[in-house]
Amino acid sequence: MSIGKSIQAFDHATLWVSNALQASAWFCLRFGFEPFAYRGLETGSRDVVSHVIKQNKIFFVFQSPLLPDNQEFGQHITRHGDGVKDIAFTVDNIEEVVEQARAKGGKIVKDVWTETDEHGSVKMACIQTYGDTTHTLVDRTAYSGLFLPGFQEHPMKNKDPLLEKLPDVKLDFIDHIVGNMPDNEMENTTKW
């Protein structure tokens, strides 16, 4: 099996931002996305709030810490500003993909774990890329829910009259993502 055959598509991009509600609303108003799913205090998440927006097959998850002393978020936002933390891929055979990545020298940040709710189970794993960006592998073959376990329909879905008046942007899917390098670092990254 090759890893490439098990990766189906980009699943979603997670952005760590100072204000997840504000950032997600801006993307909806400026780029034609719509509120889709939510996880926060109301759903039992005590540390991080997540606002998921979508446009056709594109999903962005905007996350912010709920507590001011969250060091991991704070350091990332201080270093990068609001930005992408993780690029997730839809996969099948997640265990095989993780084992192949490990065999080829990949650093497994978090081995395969399962999240479950009343709609089924999702298997995920997290792999380190260069820098501090990660790739999460998502296997939804046993899940029929909205997005991921613990998420509910976004409370603003279909409730913003302004969004209905904006023109359709017509983005369909993500076909590629580019990672930016600091000056004079491309050679080190290609060796990675």
Q: Where are the domains of the chain?
A: 3-191
Token pair of 115 as six digits:
């999240």
- pLDDT in the model for residue 97: 93
CA–centroid distance for 96 within its chain: 21
- pLDDT in the model for residue 1: 47
- pLDDT in the model for residue 30: 93
- pLDDT in the model for residue 177: 87
Strands (E), 28-161: 34-39, 48-55, 58-65, 83-91, 108-117, 120-128, 134-143, 152-153
pTM of the predicted protein model: 0.92
Contacts of 4 (CB under 8 A, 6+ apart): none
Quote the DSSP letter at residue 42. Answer: G
- pLDDT in the model for residue 149: 97
Strands 7-16 and 34-39: unpaired
Which stretches of the chain score pLDDT less than 50?
1
Whether domain 3-191 has CATH 3.10.180.10: the reply is yes
Residue 128 backbone phi and psi in degrees, to 5: -75, 140
**CA 106 to each of CA 8, 9, 98, 150: distance values in angstroms, whole numbers, following the listed order:** 19, 20, 9, 29
Judged on CB neighbours under 10 Å (0-12, 13-18, 19+), 34 is: middle
The mean pLDDT of the chain is 92
- pLDDT in the model for residue 131: 83
Contact between 87 and 178 (Cβ < 8 Å): no
